[in-house]
Amino acid sequence: MKRLSHLAYFTRLLVLALALSGLVQASVQAQESKTQATKKSKVVFQVSDGDSKKWELTLSNVKNVIKDLGKDNVDVEVVAYGPGIDMFKFESPVAGRIEEVLKLGAQVMICENTMRAQKLSKSDMLDNLGYVEAGVSQLIKRQQQGYAYIRP
Amino acid sequence: MKRLSHLAYFTRLLVLALALSGLVQASVQAQESKTQATKKSKVVFQVSDGDSKKWELTLSNVKNVIKDLGKDNVDVEVVAYGPGIDMFKFESPVAGRIEEVLKLGAQVMICENTMRAQKLSKSDMLDNLGYVEAGVSQLIKRQQQGYAYIRP
Amino acid sequence: MKRLSHLAYFTRLLVLALALSGLVQASVQAQESKTQATKKSKVVFQVSDGDSKKWELTLSNVKNVIKDLGKDNVDVEVVAYGPGIDMFKFESPVAGRIEEVLKLGAQVMICENTMRAQKLSKSDMLDNLGYVEAGVSQLIKRQQQGYAYIRP
Residue type, A86: D
What mean pLDDT comes out for the span C40-67? 96
What is the reported pLDDT for C11? 72
pTM: 0.80
Distance CA A131, CA A137 (A): 12
User: Regarding beta strands B130-132 and B107-111, do their DSSP bridges make them parallel or antiparallel, or are they unpaired?
Assistant: parallel
**Rounded mean pLDDT, B79-100:** 98
How far apart are the CA of B99 and the nearest CA of chain C, in angstroms? 25
Average pLDDT, chain C: 88
**Whether the predicted pLDDT of C1 surpasses 50:** no
Which of A46, A51, A66, A150 would you mutate first to test chain C, the one with the most C CBs within 10 A?
A150
What pLDDT shows up at residue B59? 98
ipTM topping 0.90: no
B25 falls in which pLDDT band (50, 70, 90)? low
Distance from CA of A105 to the nearest CA of B (A): 24
Cβ distance of B64 and A149 shorter than 8 Å:
no
Mean pLDDT of C130-140: 97
A32 to C31: CB separation less than 8 angstroms, yes or no: yes
Pick left, alpha or beta for residue B139 (phi over 0 → left; psi -120 to 50 → alpha; otherwise beta). Answer: alpha
CA angle, B18 then B24 then B28, to 5°: 145
Which chain B residue shows the shortest CA-CA distance from C143? B143
Which residue of A lies nearest to B36 if distances are taken between CA atoms? A144
Q: What is the DSSP string of B1-61?
A: -PPPPHHHHHHHHHHHHHHHHHHHHHHHHHHHHHHHHTTSEEEEEEE----HHHHHHHHHH
- Alpha-carbon gap, residue A47 to A25, rounded angstroms: 44
CB contact under 8 A, A48 and B152: yes
With an 8 Å Cβ cutoff, are A27 and B31 in contact?
no
Residue type for position A111: C
Least confident of A21-25, B74-78, C95-99, C143-147: A21-25
A41 Ramachandran zone, left/alpha/beta (phi>0; psi -120 to 50)? beta
